[in-house]
Amino acid sequence: MSETKKFLYVNRKAPYGTVYALESLEVVLIGAAFEQDVQLLFMDDGVFQIAKGQDTAESGMKNFSPTYTALGDYEVTKMYVDKESLEERGLTVDDLLPLVWEDEDDDYAEKDSIILVSRDEIAALMEEQDVVLSF
C-alpha cells in the first residue's frame, strides 16, 4: 500500500437542495476504502447534513443521513463541527446524529466522533492536512 495522507473533507452545503452533500459522502467512502486518514468538517449549512430526524418519505428523495452513522466502521472517527455555525442556526450538538466509533484498543468502547471546534481551530485543522477537499 502506498503512503497514507491526511484528508480533510470540508462540508458547507445543506443536504437535498444540492448534490454536494451526497457527492462528498461518496468520496469520503472512497478515501476510507483506500485506508487514508479521513476527517470530516461540517460548517455553515453543512451542519444540516448531520441533523438527526431526517425523514424523506414524503419528498421521495433518498435519505442518506444513516450513512454518516456507519462511518465509524470505516475508521472515520473524527467529525469536526463548527460551533458558531450551530449557534447561528439555533442548533446544539443534541440536534445532531449520534456519531460514534468503537475503539478496538480500548475493549471496543464506544466513543464520540463529533468534535466541536471554533473558527481558529478550523484554521489550524486545515493547515495540518496533506489534502483538503471542498464540498
Partner 1 sequence: MLHTVNKSPFTNNSLESCLDCVADGAAVLLIEDGVYGALNGSKVADKVKAAMGKVTVYALSADVKARGIADKVIDGIKLVDYAGFVDLTVENDKVQAWL
Residues of the shown chain interacting with partner 1 in the complex, contacts defined by CB under 8 A = 14-18, 44-45, 48, 51-61, 63, 65, 88-90, 95
**CA–CA dist 101, 58 (Å, integer):** 31
Nearer to partner 1, 6 or 89 (CB): 89
Nearer to partner 1, 53 or 104 (CB): 53
Comparison of 4 and 56: residue with beta carbon closer to partner 1: 56
Least distance in angstroms from the C-beta of 44 to partner 1? 7
Residue 86 Cβ, how far from partner 1 at the closest point, in Å? 10
Beta-sheet strands, E only, within the chain? 6-11, 37-42, 79-82, 100-103, 109-112, 114-117, 131-134
Strands 6-11 and 131-134 come out as: parallel
CA proximity to 76, closest of 84, 68, 66, 65? 68
HSE, CB side, 13 Å, CA atoms: give it for residue 100.
8
- Kindly state the smallest distance separating residue 95's Cβ from partner 1, in Å: 8
Q: Are 126 and 8 in contact (CB under 8 A)?
A: yes
CB of 60 to partner 1, least distance (A): 8
Considering the complex, state which of residue 5 and residue 52 has its C-beta at the smaller distance from partner 1: 52
